[in-house]
Amino acid sequence: MRHILYLDGAGRETQYHSTSEERDAASHFAGQTGGRVYETMVATVQAAGVRHISKIELLGLLQGTGHGDANWPSAYEVMTARRYVEQWSEHLINYGELPDDADLVALLATIYT
Amino acid sequence: MLPLSCVNCSFNGLQYDSVGTTVGYCTEHKRVLNTPSELTCGRLFRKDLLLASARREQQLHEQRFTPSAISYLRTRQVANGASTSASKSDVHALESDRVALAVTSYGRLNTKIESLAQLSALDGARADIALLSLGRVYVRRCKDRGGRWTSGLHLLWWIRARLTTEPAIDIRDIRIETALPIARQIELAQWSILMLRLTVLSDLGSYATEEGHGVRALADLAECAALETRELSFRKLFRWIRTTGRERVGKALSEDEYERLSSDLHQDDSG
């Protein structure tokens, strides 16, 4: 919930990356000045030992006051997060289960092109 | 980082979510925002969060971005002339639109409440967005300066008047491309605007709670609506508002009480 809603603001610590299955959405977030779109595939993410959370899974979690890791005190905020997921066709990549000594730089180079 | 951008800031009354004009307008910095989704400043007051969260996030944001200038979200550098404009010709270009005219007039010559009154008389989703966004920060500022919740009394009444009116979204008001079917896109935008109405009413309820007035019953209105409707469905939310929501708002502030408080306000103004 914190990640999808951008709570704690820019530069916040998060174990997730937001991705989109729609190039238009990714381009919109990349903006016109300085951003770029990176590509990956679910199979690539999974082969790198990283967990992919699909849009369908997210939409299932974001109901009522949220389920599982999406459990949250405010139903309003859960619904707002759900709106973002649907609108931007959002998927998450979760790095939280990696070992502490994982080489993230090398991992990201493997996942994204 | 769109939720942290000027598109999602209450000081920009021209855009919210997927609805609005191509450019934004910041009533704090008095500038046209040419690339609003890439811009921000330390005053960001998010439209998509309830009062307590919006306040907390504003304070955090202010630690990272200066409130005194519009900056790029990505680099935190002050935005250059290509991204914002204060030129009269750009502002005039916006003023051919009635909603944009009221928004760009907001705050000029101490006419904030007059601009809100103008917006309350306009139809359409964009008028809703402007009224709710600017009204929200108008009352917050009054409260921060020691005012009472009744600085939002007329705002509450105007929202009450349009509470059961379906937000009318013109297809030309959709400002972004997404892969969502257009009907669903419009439905999500309508849901967001209904929720923004309830959010502003909840703000007023929170302020009234501090002062012990009956409008405090509205403090959890938006949260209750989300909890009781459970689905991201405009129709379901609209039905809830026409039944439960309307009744709660009517009970929180009767017409007699509105007239009494309104009369008190005018006496304060002339005293």
Nearest by CB to residue A76, choosing from B1, B50, B57, is B50
- What would the pLDDT profile of B125-162 be if each residue is shown by its tens digit? 999 999 999 999 999 999 999 999 999 999 999 999 99
pLDDT of residue A95: 95
- What would the pLDDT profile of B46-93 be if each residue is shown by its tens digit? 999 999 999 999 999 999 999 999 999 999 999 988 899 999 999 999
**Residue B271 scores a pLDDT above 60:** no
Chain A residues whose CB is inside 8 A of the B61 CB are 9-10
Asked whether the beta carbons of residue A77 and residue B49 sit closer than 8 angstroms, the reply is yes
pLDDT of residue A1: 95
- With cut-offs at 50, 70 and 90, classify the pLDDT of residue B109: low
ipTM for the predicted complex comes to 0.94
Q: Does B203 touch chain A (CB under 8 A)?
A: no
DSSP B78: B
Q: Does A67 touch chain B (CB under 8 A)?
A: no
Tell the residue number behind the tokens 């904030």, with chain if given. B112
Q: Could you tell me if A77 and B50 are in contact, meaning their C-beta atoms sit under 8 angstroms apart?
A: yes
**Residue A11 scores a pLDDT above 90:** no
CA distances from A53 to A16, A49, A107, B119, B209 (A): 10, 13, 18, 42, 41
- With cut-offs at 50, 70 and 90, classify the pLDDT of residue B262: very high
- What would the pLDDT profile of B12-26 be if each residue is shown by its tens digit? 999 998 999 999 999
**Residue A111 scores a pLDDT above 90:** yes
Q: How far is A94 from chain B (nearest CA, A)?
A: 18
Chain A residues whose CB is inside 8 A of the B65 CB are 10
**Residue A92 scores a pLDDT above 60:** yes
Would you list the DSSP string of chain A?
Answer: -TTTTTTT-TT---SEEEEES-HHHHHHHHTTTT-------HHHHHHTT-EEE-HHHHHHHSSTT--GGG--S-HHHHHHHHHHHHHHTEEEEE-TTS-TT--HHHHHHHH--
Q: Quick one: tokens of A71?
A: 């459990």
For residue B245, which amino acid is it?
Answer: G
For the residues A19-45, what does the mean pLDDT come to? 90
Q: Does B65 touch chain A (CB under 8 A)?
A: yes
